[in-house]
Amino acid sequence: MKVGMLTSGGDCQGLNSALRGVAKTLYNELGNTVAIYGIRDGYRGLIERDYHIMRPEDFSDILTRGGTILGTSRQPFKDMTKAGEEDEETKLEKMLKTVKQEGFDCLVILGGNGTHKTANLLSEHGVNVVTLPKTIDNDLWGTEVTFGFQSAIDIATSVIDSIHSTAFSHSRVFIVEIMGHKAGWLTLYAGIASGADVIVIPEIPYSAEKIARAIQKRQDSGKQFSILAVAEGAISKEEAKMSKKEFKAAREAMTQPSISYRIADELKELTGQEIRVTIPGHYQRGGIPCAADRLLTSRLGVAAAQLIQQKKFGYMVAVQSNQIVPVPLKDVAGKLKTVPPDGEVVRAARALGLSMGD
């Protein structure tokens, strides 16, 4: 059996441990009847036929390593079937040719939303595919949790924890901008875990006036500092009413470097207080995977390897009710899992007295 493995899209903690989980299971159960090939830089390697044979020792000592030993890249889904110059093959056609000519019996693909759309496209064109769900945003449909998410929560929580002491010392308002363009899972979880006072996520449009009132309420109770956990994809109530075209134009006209700086300017005008912004950025998806992600990726890797042995293709291995189950790729591709505005975790945040900015 000839298996190709690739990691696509943004990197995160747990990619290497997931690769290890798949490989170790296949080697242990199939021995020398399986050959594993590492495809470099995600779909680019499949397009350009850039891959290499991997040995069991290549998967040793990578359980705790961050990033991905295979490299990664972003290949937009919309470009996969786009025609190039005259007589030039599309990226999809090039990938299908690589799979056929190199004789890959199966592709193991690790990635998030965009990656799964392309994986499903390959599956629809006859390629045997098994996928694993990764993203620190936890916004992949069909699974309760993605690997990388818990590690990112730990890092974002640590950042906000550290901000507490300086916010208290200087009696200031601090905004910590957390990753998450379309989904606020990471901001919500890290905000609650770190004891942030205000949490602003894309699913719940914010009102600067409401946030200012929450800050004033804390001051009135004798608390002279406040910490806001703000998702990078946060939107205001006014923006939520705009069309896509209007929203894009409004954001292009925004003079601040990010939404957190705009909120800082709005709050400074409303409260007269000094506002500081901290953006940990890619720090949130770097470094070693936490223990929870190492366990999760090991379980997912075993499940993916078992699907391959069963010749059960066209599935993503997912977590549902703390069990690892196969979910059809067609049910995953193109769908985004966002935070329910009235869901249990949001209700818990409000019950704790946190403001959601609305």
Mind telling me the catalytic residues?
A: 137
The CA angle 232-6-103, to the nearest 5 degrees, is: 150
Question: Residue type at 20?
Answer: R
Phi, psi dihedrals of residue 313, rounded to the nearest 5°: -110, 170
128 SS3 class: coil
d(CA 333, CA 349): 30
Q: State the greatest distance between any 2 C-alpha atoms of the chain, in Å, as a whole number.
A: 71
Tell which residue, 324, 307, 294, 299, has the closest CA to residue 16. Answer: 294
Alpha helix ranges (H) inside 195-258 = 208-220, 237-240, 244-253
d(CA 196, CA 317): 33
Q: Which residues contact 98 (CB under 8 A, 6 or more apart)?
A: 46, 47, 49, 104
Tell which residue, 348, 351, 284, 337, has the closest CA to residue 144. Answer: 337
Handedness of CA 136, 130, 80, 117 (dihedral sign): negative
d(CA 43, CA 49): 10
Kindly state the tokens that stand for 50.
Answer: 């850039």
β-partners of residue 315 are: 130, 328
The CA angle 143-113-338, to the nearest 5 degrees, is: 60
| Alpha carbon distances (Å) from 224 to 174, 176, 352 | 12, 17, 19
d(CA 173, CA 233): 20
Helix H or strand E segment including 22: helix 15-30
Kindly state the tokens that stand for 331.
Answer: 């049910």
Q: What is the DSSP letter of 283?
A: G
